[in-house]
Protein backbone atom coordinates (compact mmCIF):
# COMPACT_ATOMS: atom_id res chain seq x y z
CA UNK A 1 0.00 0.00 0.00
CA UNK A 2 1.02 3.61 -0.29
CA UNK A 3 3.61 5.89 1.25
CA UNK A 4 2.86 9.57 0.62
CA UNK A 5 4.45 12.88 1.51
CA UNK A 6 3.53 14.40 4.87
CA UNK A 7 1.65 17.38 3.35
CA UNK A 8 -0.39 15.20 1.02
CA UNK A 9 -1.17 12.80 3.87
CA UNK A 10 -2.62 15.57 6.02
CA UNK A 11 -4.69 16.88 3.08
CA UNK A 12 -6.17 13.40 2.72
CA UNK A 13 -6.86 13.13 6.46
CA UNK A 14 -8.56 16.52 6.62
CA UNK A 15 -10.68 15.46 3.68
CA UNK A 16 -11.58 12.25 5.49
CA UNK A 17 -12.69 14.28 8.52
CA UNK A 18 -15.08 16.19 6.33
CA UNK A 19 -16.95 13.19 4.93
CA UNK A 20 -16.79 10.78 7.88
CA UNK A 21 -20.39 9.88 8.64
CA UNK A 22 -22.28 7.87 11.23
CA UNK A 23 -21.19 4.60 9.67
CA UNK A 24 -17.49 5.47 9.95
CA UNK A 25 -15.44 4.99 13.13
CA UNK A 26 -12.14 6.82 13.56
CA UNK A 27 -9.83 5.40 16.21
CA UNK A 28 -6.67 7.33 17.09
CA UNK A 29 -3.68 5.02 17.64
CA UNK A 30 -0.12 5.77 18.72
CA UNK A 31 1.56 2.97 16.77
CA UNK A 32 1.14 1.41 13.36
CA UNK A 33 1.07 -2.33 12.68
CA UNK A 34 4.41 -3.97 12.06
CA UNK A 35 2.74 -6.25 9.50
CA UNK A 36 -0.78 -7.39 8.57
CA UNK A 37 0.22 -11.06 8.33
CA UNK A 38 -1.34 -13.00 11.24
CA UNK A 39 1.16 -15.84 10.75
CA UNK A 40 4.06 -13.46 11.39
CA UNK A 41 3.07 -10.92 14.03
CA UNK A 42 2.69 -11.21 17.80
CA UNK A 43 2.03 -7.47 18.15
CA UNK A 44 -1.22 -6.08 19.57
CA UNK A 45 -0.98 -3.05 17.27
CA UNK A 46 -1.05 -5.38 14.29
CA UNK A 47 -3.75 -7.59 15.74
CA UNK A 48 -6.06 -4.61 16.31
CA UNK A 49 -5.92 -3.91 12.57
CA UNK A 50 -6.42 -7.48 11.35
CA UNK A 51 -8.45 -9.41 13.93
CA UNK A 52 -11.81 -8.49 12.39
CA UNK A 53 -10.54 -9.02 8.84
CA UNK A 54 -10.38 -12.72 9.60
CA UNK A 55 -12.38 -15.44 11.29
CA UNK A 56 -11.16 -18.36 13.35
CA UNK A 57 -12.43 -21.89 13.86
CA UNK A 58 -13.78 -20.87 17.26
CA UNK A 59 -14.41 -17.39 18.65
CA UNK A 60 -14.73 -15.74 22.04
CA UNK A 61 -18.32 -15.16 23.13
CA UNK A 62 -18.83 -11.42 23.59
CA UNK A 63 -16.86 -10.11 26.56
CA UNK A 64 -16.18 -13.56 28.04
CA UNK A 65 -13.55 -16.26 27.70
CA UNK A 66 -16.26 -18.75 26.72
CA UNK A 67 -15.94 -20.15 23.21
CA UNK A 68 -18.57 -20.27 20.48
CA UNK A 69 -18.58 -21.71 16.96
CA UNK A 70 -16.76 -19.68 14.32
CA UNK A 71 -15.74 -21.09 10.96
CA UNK A 72 -16.27 -24.47 12.63
CA UNK A 73 -19.93 -25.06 13.40
CA UNK A 74 -19.14 -27.91 15.80
CA UNK A 75 -16.26 -30.04 17.07
CA UNK A 76 -15.42 -33.14 19.06
CA UNK A 77 -12.49 -33.80 21.39
CA UNK A 78 -11.38 -37.38 21.96
CA UNK A 79 -11.48 -38.81 25.47
CA UNK A 80 -7.69 -38.88 25.66
CA UNK A 81 -7.51 -35.21 24.63
CA UNK A 82 -5.26 -35.98 21.66
CA UNK A 83 -7.66 -35.47 18.76
CA UNK A 84 -9.73 -32.39 17.87
CA UNK A 85 -12.15 -32.81 14.97
CA UNK A 86 -13.82 -29.70 13.51
CA UNK A 87 -16.88 -29.68 11.26
CA UNK A 88 -16.68 -26.58 9.08
CA UNK A 89 -19.36 -24.23 7.80
CA UNK A 90 -20.16 -24.51 4.11
CA UNK A 91 -20.75 -21.86 1.48
CA UNK A 92 -18.14 -19.36 2.75
CA UNK A 93 -15.60 -17.63 0.51
CA UNK A 94 -12.54 -15.56 1.34
CA UNK A 95 -12.44 -11.89 0.37
CA UNK A 96 -10.43 -12.88 -2.75
CA UNK A 97 -13.11 -15.36 -3.86
CA UNK A 98 -11.28 -18.52 -2.80
CA UNK A 99 -13.62 -21.15 -1.27
CA UNK A 100 -13.27 -21.88 2.43
CA UNK A 101 -12.98 -25.59 3.21
CA UNK A 102 -10.88 -28.13 5.10
CA UNK A 103 -8.05 -27.88 2.59
CA UNK A 104 -7.87 -24.12 3.26
CA UNK A 105 -7.54 -24.82 6.99
CA UNK A 106 -4.83 -27.41 6.37
CA UNK A 107 -2.96 -24.89 4.18
CA UNK A 108 -3.07 -22.34 7.01
CA UNK A 109 -1.24 -24.55 9.45
CA UNK A 110 1.24 -25.66 6.80
CA UNK A 111 1.99 -21.98 6.12
CA UNK A 112 2.09 -21.08 9.82
CA UNK A 113 4.67 -23.76 10.64
CA UNK A 114 6.68 -23.19 7.45
CA UNK A 115 7.09 -19.50 8.27
CA UNK A 116 7.98 -20.46 11.84
CA UNK A 117 7.59 -17.03 13.42
CA UNK A 118 6.15 -16.24 16.89
CA UNK A 119 2.53 -17.22 16.12
CA UNK A 120 3.62 -20.78 15.36
CA UNK A 121 4.54 -21.20 19.02
CA UNK A 122 0.88 -20.97 20.01
CA UNK A 123 0.25 -24.23 18.16
CA UNK A 124 3.36 -26.21 19.04
CA UNK A 125 1.09 -28.79 20.60
CA UNK A 126 -0.13 -29.91 17.14
CA UNK A 127 1.44 -33.10 15.80
CA UNK A 128 -0.47 -33.37 12.52
CA UNK A 129 -3.37 -31.90 10.55
CA UNK A 130 -5.55 -34.24 8.47
CA UNK A 131 -8.32 -33.42 5.98
CA UNK A 132 -11.14 -35.95 6.56
CA UNK A 133 -13.44 -34.63 3.86
CA UNK A 134 -14.21 -31.28 2.22
CA UNK A 135 -15.62 -29.78 5.41
CA UNK A 136 -14.07 -31.88 8.19
CA UNK A 137 -10.56 -31.50 9.55
CA UNK A 138 -8.72 -33.30 12.34
CA UNK A 139 -5.87 -32.08 14.53
CA UNK A 140 -3.76 -34.65 16.36
CA UNK A 141 -1.80 -33.43 19.39
CA UNK A 142 1.56 -34.58 20.68
CA UNK A 143 0.08 -34.66 24.18
CA UNK A 144 -3.06 -33.34 25.89
CA UNK A 145 -2.99 -29.55 26.23
CA UNK A 146 -5.61 -27.88 28.46
CA UNK A 147 -6.00 -24.57 26.57
CA UNK A 148 -5.77 -26.12 23.08
CA UNK A 149 -9.31 -25.16 22.03
CA UNK A 150 -8.85 -21.58 23.22
CA UNK A 151 -5.68 -21.30 21.12
CA UNK A 152 -7.80 -21.61 17.99
CA UNK A 153 -9.64 -18.39 19.00
CA UNK A 154 -6.48 -16.27 19.14
CA UNK A 155 -5.22 -13.97 16.41
CA UNK A 156 -2.65 -16.62 15.56
CA UNK A 157 -5.62 -18.82 14.65
CA UNK A 158 -6.83 -16.45 11.89
CA UNK A 159 -7.63 -18.43 8.75
CA UNK A 160 -5.87 -16.97 5.70
CA UNK A 161 -6.92 -17.59 2.09
CA UNK A 162 -4.75 -20.07 0.16
CA UNK A 163 -5.03 -17.45 -2.58
CA UNK A 164 -2.09 -15.60 -0.99
CA UNK A 165 0.15 -18.09 -2.78
CA UNK A 166 -0.59 -16.24 -6.01
CA UNK A 167 1.56 -13.49 -4.51
CA UNK A 168 4.40 -15.75 -3.38
CA UNK A 169 7.89 -14.44 -4.19
CA UNK A 170 11.01 -16.57 -3.77
CA UNK A 171 9.28 -19.04 -1.48
CA UNK A 172 8.04 -16.43 1.02
CA UNK A 173 4.52 -17.94 1.25
CA UNK A 174 3.12 -14.55 0.20
CA UNK A 175 4.53 -12.81 3.29
CA UNK A 176 5.59 -9.67 1.46
CA UNK A 177 2.14 -9.19 -0.06
CA UNK A 178 0.20 -10.13 3.08
CA UNK A 179 2.25 -7.71 5.18
CA UNK A 180 0.25 -4.92 3.47
CA UNK A 181 -3.06 -6.65 2.68
CA UNK A 182 -5.61 -8.96 4.27
CA UNK A 183 -7.04 -12.20 2.89
CA UNK A 184 -9.67 -13.46 5.28
CA UNK A 185 -13.36 -14.27 5.59
CA UNK A 186 -14.01 -11.63 8.26
CA UNK A 187 -16.49 -8.73 8.45
CA UNK A 188 -13.82 -6.22 7.27
CA UNK A 189 -10.85 -6.09 4.93
CA UNK A 190 -7.90 -3.72 4.69
CA UNK A 191 -8.72 -1.29 1.89
CA UNK A 192 -5.99 1.33 2.25
CA UNK A 193 -2.81 1.84 4.24
CA UNK A 194 -1.04 5.17 3.97
CA UNK A 195 2.02 4.56 6.12
CA UNK A 196 2.54 7.17 8.78
CA UNK A 197 -1.04 8.38 8.48
CA UNK A 198 -3.92 5.90 8.47
CA UNK A 199 -5.09 2.36 7.81
CA UNK A 200 -8.65 1.95 6.51
CA UNK A 201 -10.78 -1.14 7.01
CA UNK A 202 -13.92 -1.46 4.90
CA UNK A 203 -16.96 -3.62 5.51
CA UNK A 204 -16.98 -6.95 3.70
CA UNK A 205 -20.33 -6.71 1.93
CA UNK A 206 -20.26 -10.44 1.20
CA UNK A 207 -19.64 -11.48 4.80
CA UNK A 208 -21.20 -14.85 5.64
CA UNK A 209 -22.24 -13.86 9.17
CA UNK A 210 -23.97 -10.86 10.70
CA UNK A 211 -22.71 -7.85 8.75
CA UNK A 212 -20.80 -5.11 10.55
CA UNK A 213 -22.82 -2.00 11.39
CA UNK A 214 -19.91 0.23 10.41
CA UNK A 215 -19.09 0.73 6.74
CA UNK A 216 -15.54 1.75 7.56
CA UNK A 217 -13.00 1.85 10.39
CA UNK A 218 -10.09 4.26 10.14
CA UNK A 219 -7.07 3.65 12.37
CA UNK A 220 -5.46 7.07 12.39
CA UNK A 221 -1.81 7.19 13.40
CA UNK A 222 -1.23 10.01 15.91
CA UNK A 223 2.04 9.30 17.75
CA UNK A 224 1.67 12.01 20.42
CA UNK A 225 -0.91 11.18 23.13
CA UNK A 226 -1.62 14.87 23.79
CA UNK A 227 -2.63 15.32 20.14
CA UNK A 228 -4.92 12.31 20.50
CA UNK A 229 -6.56 13.82 23.56
CA UNK A 230 -7.26 17.10 21.75
CA UNK A 231 -8.66 15.33 18.68
CA UNK A 232 -10.99 13.32 20.91
CA UNK A 233 -12.20 16.43 22.71
CA UNK A 234 -12.90 18.13 19.36
CA UNK A 235 -14.82 15.09 18.14
CA UNK A 236 -12.44 14.52 15.24
CA UNK A 237 -11.77 10.97 16.42
CA UNK A 238 -14.18 8.62 18.14
CA UNK A 239 -11.81 6.51 20.27
CA UNK A 240 -8.33 7.31 21.60
CA UNK A 241 -5.95 4.62 22.80
CA UNK A 242 -2.95 4.75 25.14
CA UNK A 243 -3.38 8.18 26.61
CA UNK A 244 -1.44 8.93 29.79
CA UNK A 245 -3.07 8.50 33.16
CA UNK A 246 -3.14 12.30 33.60
CA UNK A 247 -4.78 12.79 30.22
CA UNK A 248 -7.44 10.18 30.91
CA UNK A 249 -8.20 11.74 34.30
CA UNK A 250 -8.62 15.13 32.61
CA UNK A 251 -11.20 13.67 30.21
CA UNK A 252 -13.46 12.33 32.95
CA UNK A 253 -16.46 14.60 33.20
CA UNK A 254 -15.85 16.28 29.84
CA UNK A 255 -19.23 16.56 28.07
CA UNK A 256 -19.61 14.07 25.25
CA UNK A 257 -16.79 11.78 26.42
CA UNK A 258 -16.88 8.63 28.48
CA UNK A 259 -13.96 6.62 29.78
CA UNK A 260 -14.46 2.86 29.80
CA UNK A 261 -12.65 1.20 32.71
CA UNK A 262 -12.23 -2.45 33.65
CA UNK A 263 -9.72 -4.77 35.33
CA UNK A 264 -7.25 -6.29 32.91
CA UNK A 265 -4.42 -8.78 32.70
CA UNK A 266 -2.08 -6.26 31.07
CA UNK A 267 1.25 -6.57 32.87
CA UNK A 268 4.24 -4.25 32.58
CA UNK A 269 7.79 -5.49 33.11
CA UNK A 270 11.43 -4.65 32.73
CA UNK A 271 13.12 -7.30 30.62
CA UNK A 272 16.64 -8.04 31.90
CA UNK A 273 18.68 -9.57 29.09
CA UNK A 274 20.22 -12.58 30.81
CA UNK A 275 22.78 -13.05 28.03
CA UNK A 276 24.39 -9.66 28.67
CA UNK A 277 27.39 -8.90 30.92
CA UNK A 278 26.37 -8.11 34.51
CA UNK A 279 22.78 -9.25 33.88
CA UNK A 280 23.91 -12.84 33.37
CA UNK A 281 24.54 -12.90 37.13
CA UNK A 282 21.38 -13.65 39.13
CA UNK A 283 22.72 -11.54 42.02
CA UNK A 284 22.72 -8.47 39.78
CA UNK A 285 19.19 -9.18 38.59
CA UNK A 286 18.00 -9.60 42.16
CA UNK A 287 19.79 -6.38 43.16
CA UNK A 288 17.90 -4.51 40.44
CA UNK A 289 14.63 -6.00 41.68
CA UNK A 290 15.39 -4.82 45.23
CA UNK A 291 16.36 -1.33 44.02
CA UNK A 292 13.02 -0.36 42.43
CA UNK A 293 10.52 1.86 44.28
CA UNK A 294 7.44 -0.08 43.22
CA UNK A 295 4.96 1.73 45.44
CA UNK A 296 6.16 5.09 44.19
CA UNK A 297 5.56 3.91 40.62
CA UNK A 298 2.04 2.72 41.48
CA UNK A 299 1.11 5.86 43.44
CA UNK A 300 2.68 8.64 41.43
CA UNK A 301 2.89 7.38 37.86
CA UNK A 302 -0.15 5.10 37.63
CA UNK A 303 -2.15 7.08 40.23
CA UNK A 304 -4.09 4.11 41.47
CA UNK A 305 -4.93 2.71 38.02
CA UNK A 306 -2.57 -0.22 38.50
CA UNK A 307 -1.49 -2.60 41.25
CA UNK A 308 1.90 -4.10 41.86
CA UNK A 309 2.41 -7.52 40.30
CA UNK A 310 2.65 -10.46 42.70
CA UNK A 311 4.76 -12.58 40.38
CA UNK A 312 4.64 -13.64 36.74
CA UNK A 313 1.03 -14.87 36.61
CA UNK A 314 -1.52 -12.02 36.82
CA UNK A 315 -3.91 -11.54 39.72
CA UNK A 316 -7.25 -12.99 38.65
CA UNK A 317 -5.89 -16.06 36.88
CA UNK A 318 -6.90 -19.33 38.53
CA UNK A 319 -3.27 -20.46 38.63
CA UNK A 320 -1.99 -17.26 40.29
CA UNK A 321 -0.33 -17.46 43.70
CA UNK A 322 1.11 -14.43 45.58
CA UNK A 323 4.80 -15.29 45.51
CA UNK A 324 7.64 -13.23 46.98
CA UNK A 325 7.62 -9.52 46.17
CA UNK A 326 11.00 -7.83 46.25
CA UNK A 327 10.73 -4.94 48.72
CA UNK A 328 12.28 -1.56 47.99
CA UNK A 329 15.59 -2.21 49.76
CA UNK A 330 18.58 -0.30 48.28
CA UNK A 331 20.94 -1.51 51.02
CA UNK A 332 20.23 -5.13 50.27
CA UNK A 333 20.68 -4.39 46.57
CA UNK A 334 24.10 -2.84 47.25
CA UNK A 335 25.13 -5.89 49.29
CA UNK A 336 24.21 -8.20 46.40
CA UNK A 337 26.25 -6.12 43.95
CA UNK A 338 29.22 -6.20 46.34
CA UNK A 339 28.86 -9.97 46.66
CA UNK A 340 28.89 -10.21 42.87
CA UNK A 341 32.07 -8.13 42.71
CA UNK A 342 30.47 -5.01 41.27
CA UNK A 343 30.69 -2.66 44.25
CA UNK A 344 32.32 -0.01 42.00
CA UNK A 345 29.27 0.06 39.76
CA UNK A 346 28.76 -0.22 36.01
CA UNK A 347 26.55 1.14 33.22
CA UNK A 348 23.45 -0.37 31.62
CA UNK A 349 21.08 0.86 28.95
CA UNK A 350 17.30 0.69 29.23
CA UNK A 351 14.98 1.21 26.28
CA UNK A 352 11.36 2.20 25.99
CA UNK A 353 8.94 3.42 23.33
CA UNK A 354 6.58 6.42 23.36
CA UNK A 355 3.78 3.96 22.51
CA UNK A 356 3.29 3.52 26.28
CA UNK A 357 3.71 7.02 27.83
CA UNK A 358 4.18 5.66 31.35
CA UNK A 359 7.36 3.87 30.31
CA UNK A 360 9.24 7.14 29.94
CA UNK A 361 8.16 8.20 33.43
CA UNK A 362 9.09 4.82 34.89
CA UNK A 363 12.45 4.96 33.11
CA UNK A 364 13.30 8.14 35.00
CA UNK A 365 12.39 6.50 38.33
CA UNK A 366 14.41 3.39 37.48
CA UNK A 367 17.36 5.53 36.43
CA UNK A 368 17.27 7.33 39.79
CA UNK A 369 16.72 4.13 41.78
CA UNK A 370 19.61 2.27 40.18
CA UNK A 371 21.92 5.28 40.53
CA UNK A 372 21.45 4.91 44.29
CA UNK A 373 23.07 1.47 44.18
CA UNK A 374 25.87 2.42 41.77
CA UNK A 375 24.37 1.44 38.41
CA UNK A 376 24.39 4.22 35.82
CA UNK A 377 21.45 3.87 33.44
CA UNK A 378 21.31 5.35 29.97
CA UNK A 379 17.70 5.78 28.79
CA UNK A 380 17.02 5.15 25.11
CA UNK A 381 13.73 5.81 23.28
CA UNK A 382 12.85 3.94 20.10
CA UNK A 383 9.94 3.76 17.69
CA UNK A 384 7.82 0.68 18.37
CA UNK A 385 9.05 -1.39 15.38
CA UNK A 386 12.69 -0.62 16.24
CA UNK A 387 12.25 -1.58 19.89
CA UNK A 388 10.60 -4.85 18.93
CA UNK A 389 13.35 -5.67 16.44
CA UNK A 390 15.96 -5.11 19.15
CA UNK A 391 14.04 -7.37 21.52
CA UNK A 392 13.90 -10.09 18.89
CA UNK A 393 17.63 -9.83 18.19
CA UNK A 394 18.66 -9.58 21.86
CA UNK A 395 20.22 -6.19 21.11
CA UNK A 396 19.55 -4.53 24.48
CA UNK A 397 20.45 -4.60 28.16
CA UNK A 398 17.11 -3.74 29.75
CA UNK A 399 13.77 -2.84 28.20
CA UNK A 400 10.28 -1.94 29.27
CA UNK A 401 7.56 -4.13 27.85
CA UNK A 402 4.07 -5.43 28.45
CA UNK A 403 2.14 -8.61 27.80
CA UNK A 404 -1.53 -9.44 27.52
CA UNK A 405 -2.90 -12.98 27.28
CA UNK A 406 -4.55 -14.50 24.23
CA UNK A 407 -6.26 -17.23 26.24
CA UNK A 408 -7.14 -17.49 29.92
CA UNK A 409 -4.50 -19.94 31.07
CA UNK A 410 -1.25 -19.38 32.94
CA UNK A 411 0.57 -21.10 30.09
CA UNK A 412 0.46 -17.67 28.42
CA UNK A 413 2.63 -16.20 31.19
CA UNK A 414 4.91 -19.18 31.77
CA UNK A 415 5.80 -21.30 28.74
CA UNK A 416 6.01 -18.28 26.45
CA UNK A 417 7.96 -16.19 28.95
CA UNK A 418 10.43 -18.70 30.32
CA UNK A 419 11.00 -21.51 27.81
CA UNK A 420 14.51 -21.08 26.41
CA UNK A 421 13.49 -21.88 22.84
CA UNK A 422 11.18 -18.83 22.86
CA UNK A 423 13.94 -16.21 23.01
CA UNK A 424 12.91 -12.88 21.52
CA UNK A 425 9.47 -11.85 20.33
CA UNK A 426 7.89 -15.32 20.72
CA UNK A 427 7.81 -14.54 24.45
CA UNK A 428 11.09 -15.05 26.32
CA UNK A 429 12.20 -11.44 26.00
CA UNK A 430 14.67 -11.74 28.86
CA UNK A 431 16.69 -14.26 26.83
CA UNK A 432 16.58 -16.44 29.94
CA UNK A 433 17.61 -20.08 30.17
CA UNK A 434 17.29 -22.48 33.08
CA UNK A 435 16.99 -26.20 32.37
CA UNK A 436 14.85 -26.74 35.47
CA UNK A 437 12.45 -24.05 34.25
CA UNK A 438 12.41 -25.62 30.77
CA UNK A 439 11.36 -28.92 32.34
CA UNK A 440 8.63 -27.25 34.42
CA UNK A 441 7.07 -25.23 31.60
CA UNK A 442 7.06 -28.15 29.18
CA UNK A 443 5.56 -30.41 31.86
CA UNK A 444 2.65 -28.04 32.62
CA UNK A 445 1.67 -28.12 28.95
CA UNK A 446 1.03 -31.87 28.95
CA UNK A 447 -0.17 -32.47 32.52
CA UNK A 448 -3.86 -33.41 32.57
CA UNK A 449 -4.33 -33.68 36.34
CA UNK A 450 -5.45 -30.19 37.52
CA UNK A 451 -3.85 -30.50 40.96
CA UNK A 452 -0.52 -31.67 39.54
CA UNK A 453 -0.60 -28.93 36.94
CA UNK A 454 -1.23 -26.32 39.63
CA UNK A 455 1.77 -27.61 41.58
CA UNK A 456 3.89 -27.17 38.46
CA UNK A 457 2.64 -23.61 38.06
CA UNK A 458 3.48 -22.86 41.67
CA UNK A 459 7.03 -24.10 41.14
CA UNK A 460 7.34 -22.02 37.98
CA UNK A 461 6.20 -18.87 39.75
CA UNK A 462 8.63 -19.26 42.65
CA UNK A 463 11.56 -20.03 40.36
CA UNK A 464 10.66 -17.11 38.08
CA UNK A 465 10.84 -14.69 41.00
CA UNK A 466 14.01 -16.24 42.40
CA UNK A 467 15.88 -16.11 39.08
CA UNK A 468 14.56 -12.58 38.44
CA UNK A 469 14.86 -12.46 34.63
CA UNK A 470 12.17 -9.80 34.70
CA UNK A 471 11.33 -6.97 37.06
CA UNK A 472 7.62 -7.53 37.69
CA UNK A 473 6.22 -4.00 37.83
CA UNK A 474 2.47 -3.43 37.59
CA UNK A 475 -0.81 -4.95 36.44
CA UNK A 476 -2.75 -2.08 34.89
CA UNK A 477 -6.44 -1.29 34.72
CA UNK A 478 -7.76 -1.01 31.16
CA UNK A 479 -9.00 2.47 30.28
CA UNK A 480 -10.35 3.51 26.90
CA UNK A 481 -11.70 7.04 26.30
CA UNK A 482 -14.33 7.44 23.59
CA UNK A 483 -17.07 9.75 22.45
CA UNK A 484 -20.48 9.02 23.95
CA UNK A 485 -21.87 8.48 20.47
CA UNK A 486 -19.85 5.26 20.19
CA UNK A 487 -22.30 2.45 20.92
CA UNK A 488 -22.04 -1.33 21.08
CA UNK A 489 -18.50 -1.49 22.48
CA UNK A 490 -17.81 -4.76 24.29
CA UNK A 491 -14.61 -5.31 26.26
CA UNK A 492 -12.90 -8.69 26.19
CA UNK A 493 -9.79 -9.08 28.40
CA UNK A 494 -8.37 -11.61 25.92
CA UNK A 495 -8.64 -9.09 23.07
CA UNK A 496 -7.07 -6.08 24.75
CA UNK A 497 -6.59 -3.10 22.41
CA UNK A 498 -8.82 -4.83 19.85
CA UNK A 499 -12.25 -3.16 20.04
CA UNK A 500 -15.11 -5.22 18.63
CA UNK A 501 -15.35 -3.26 15.38
CA UNK A 502 -17.92 -5.71 14.03
CA UNK A 503 -20.43 -4.77 16.77
CA UNK A 504 -19.73 -1.06 17.26
CA UNK A 505 -21.92 1.63 15.69
CA UNK A 506 -22.16 5.44 15.82
CA UNK A 507 -25.30 7.16 17.10
CA UNK A 508 -25.03 10.96 17.09
* Size of the chain, expressed as the number of residues it contains: 508
pLDDT tens, residue by residue, 189-238: 999 999 999 999 999 999 999 999 999 999 999 999 999 999 999 999 99
Tally of helices (H runs) and strands (E runs) in the chain: 15, 19
Q: What pLDDT sits at residue 1?
A: 64
Q: What pLDDT sits at residue 44?
A: 86
Question: Within a 10 A sphere around the Cβ of 435, how many other Cβ atoms?
Answer: 8
Triad 411, 439, 128: Cα angle to 5°: 65
Q: What pLDDT sits at residue 505?
A: 97
Regarding beta strands 375-381 and 346-352, do their DSSP bridges make them parallel or antiparallel, or are they unpaired?
Answer: parallel
The rounded distance, in Å, linking the Cα atoms of 450 and 387 is 38
Structural contact between residues 259 and 67, judged by C-beta atoms closer than 8 angstroms? no
Q: What pLDDT sits at residue 475?
A: 96
What does each C-alpha distance from 395 to 122, 191, 216, 398, 495 come to in angstroms?
A: 24, 35, 39, 10, 29
Q: What pLDDT sits at residue 187?
A: 98
Q: What pLDDT sits at residue 42?
A: 87
Q: What pLDDT sits at residue 19?
A: 45
- Ranges of the chain whose pLDDT falls below 50: 4-19
The rounded distance, in Å, linking the Cα atoms of 209 and 185 is 10
Amino acid sequence: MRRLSGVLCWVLVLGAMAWAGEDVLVMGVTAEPETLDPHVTVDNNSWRAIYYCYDRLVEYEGGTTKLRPGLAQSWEISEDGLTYTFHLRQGITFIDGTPFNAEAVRFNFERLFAIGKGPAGTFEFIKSVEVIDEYTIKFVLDAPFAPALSAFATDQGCIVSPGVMEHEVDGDWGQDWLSEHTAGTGPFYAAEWIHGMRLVLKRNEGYWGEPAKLAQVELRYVPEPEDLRMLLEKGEIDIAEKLTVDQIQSLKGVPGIRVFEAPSFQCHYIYLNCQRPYLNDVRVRRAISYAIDYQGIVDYIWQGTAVRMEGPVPIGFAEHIPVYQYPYDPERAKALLEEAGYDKGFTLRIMHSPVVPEWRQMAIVVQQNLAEIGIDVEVESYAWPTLRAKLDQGDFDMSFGYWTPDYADADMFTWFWFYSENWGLPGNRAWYKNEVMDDLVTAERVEINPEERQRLFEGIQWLAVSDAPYVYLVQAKYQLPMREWVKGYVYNPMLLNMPNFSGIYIEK
